[in-house]
Structure 1
Amino acid sequence: MRSSNPTRLVIRRRDFLAGTAVLLLGATRVRAATIAGQLPWTPNAGEPPSRAKLGPWEFFTGDEGRAMEALADCIIPPDAETPGGKDAGCAVFVDRQLAGPYGRQEGLYVRPPFQVGTRTQGPQSEKGPAQAYRDALGALDRACKAKYGGKPFADLPSADKDEALKGLERGEFKLEGVDGRSFFEQAVKDVQMGFFADPIYGGNRDMVAWKMIGYPGARYNYLDWVSRHNERFPLPPVGITGSAQWTR
């Protein structure tokens, strides 16, 4: 109901706004006191992603795992300063992804019709990533045995591995029932992802990739360094789960 006294309405609004301001200021003081006494967060609060478990393969067979490790080392070779894709855990990263929701295509439309889409439409295959990897790694070993005297990909000399992968990239080294070029492109992306992802997912072991590029990781904030340009950040990188030295 509209008030018959406009002056009274104005006073009431002013009283209401003044009271709201007091409440807000009071709430701000309470929050500030809390922040001064203790940081407004607790370790491992909420629902952080589950850490990838160390141990045997969860998706790959033994032969598939060896082939994937060899692929990872070809894509990211080791050098004197940084481990390669295998020792950085890239094959473990791919294995855990294929054993999880990504490999099971959770949240994706998986009913026909299945058609070849454009590059911007993403994968359109009926198989999904897990079956695609299984078929491709098996086909790669069979093709290598046929061409290189019965040796699977993982047992080839480095020069022959490079030759096989260059053939896949150019579309010249054919895999039975598998698009070798598409598989190679996907493997490169997945190995790169495992190399630079947070270690919680199984790759980037000991944060070797972050240390290599000087990335400080998932620290709480960088306010002290926002305006400091062309300076190397002096602290070691930190992952989603923090640093081992912070755990009691």
Structure 2
Amino acid sequence: MEFSVPSPDPDLHNPLRRSFVKGLLGTTSFWMLGGHALWSQALAAEAARTYSPTFLTADEYRFLDAACERILPDDHNGPGAHKLGVAEFIDRQLQTPYGHGDNWYMSGPFVEGPANLGYQLPFVPRDLYRKGITAADAYSKQQHGKLFADLPTDAQDAILTALEGGSVKLGEIPGRVFFEQLRTNTLEGAFADPIYGGNRGMGGWLMVGFPGARADFMDWVNQDGAAYPIGPVSISGETA
């Protein structure tokens, strides 16, 4: 398998957490008003439990957990992808009709086209992950002699940034396509309802002050900057 090698980039080692998190936080939230330490400890304890992936192999799951954590790292803004169970969310989704692409149009021809035409590859999400992770780990070993999950965070950031920029092609999969799939599913896992396996302890919702599945929170919609005073609730009825 051949890879194109990215050119030097002074921004390769910048953190990958996107500014959208800060934008969503506003001026106040539960996390910023004193809940950080309490929920960080609770989420860390939950994240320490063993999860056995149902689709991904152990090495594929290690890649996924590490990569998601670099896209949404744990910091002063709130919990990262690891504590929120994002990799578990994605692994579970790959066993659903979504993972199998049941509602995707997958008939050919498959030709490379402009971005505005959307996804053009013959791979459903579970195939995209399997092929993409295998190739990304091979690239990591070629460049650094180690699997992605075993690299220091600055080297992981460099690889993800190269994928995002499109300077690495993962065999049949453009690096940018794989990164966008990974980034999209990371955000879904961090902020979807906990019944789907991610957003553990509703930590993602607490981070941004989202009320969850409450029937009525209209009194707080137009109060710019005001902290929502009631914790979120899941579709299951679980409260934070």
How many residue pairs are counted as aligned between the two chains?
191
Structure 1 contact 143–174 (Cα < 8 Å) conserved: no
Matched, 1:140 2:157: no
Structure 2 contact 231–239 (Cα < 8 Å) conserved: no
* 1:192-244 CA distance string (max 9 Å, x none): 11111111111110011110111111102125546756532211111111125
TM-score (norm: length of structure 1)? 0.70
Q: State the match for 1:115 in structure 2.
A: 111
Match of 2:155 among 140, 156, 160: 160
Q: State the match for 2:206 in structure 1.
A: 211
- RMSD of the alignment, in Å? 2.1
Structure 2 contact 68–86 (Cα < 8 Å) conserved: yes
Q: State the match for 2:86 in structure 1.
A: 90
* 1:73-123 CA distance string (max 9 Å, x none): 100011246221112111111111111111111122222223345444432
Matched, 1:195 2:190: yes
User: What 5-or-longer segments of structure 1 have no aligned partner?
Assistant: 1-53
Q: 1:201 to 1:177 in 2, by over 3 A?
A: same
Match of 1:238 among 218, 233, 236: 233
TM-score (norm: length of structure 2)? 0.72
Structure 1 contact 174–180 (Cα < 8 Å) conserved: yes
Q: 1:242 to 1:120 in 2, by over 3 A?
A: farther
Matched, 1:71 2:67: yes
Structure with more contact order per residue of length (Cα contacts < 8 Å, sep ≥ 6): 2
Residues 67-76 or 192-201, more deviating: 192-201
Q: 1:83 to 1:232 in 2, by over 3 A?
A: closer
Q: 1:131 to 1:234 in 2, by over 3 A?
A: same
Matched, 1:59 2:55: yes
**Shift >6 Å, 4+ stretches:** none
SS in 2 for 1:238: coil
SS in 2 for 1:144: helix
Structure 2 contact 137–148 (Cα < 8 Å) conserved: yes
Q: State the match for 2:17 in structure 1.
A: none
Write the distance in 2 (CA, Å) between the matches of 1:215 and 1:90.
Answer: 18
Percent of aligned positions that are identical: 42
Residues 110-119 or 86-95, more deviating: 110-119
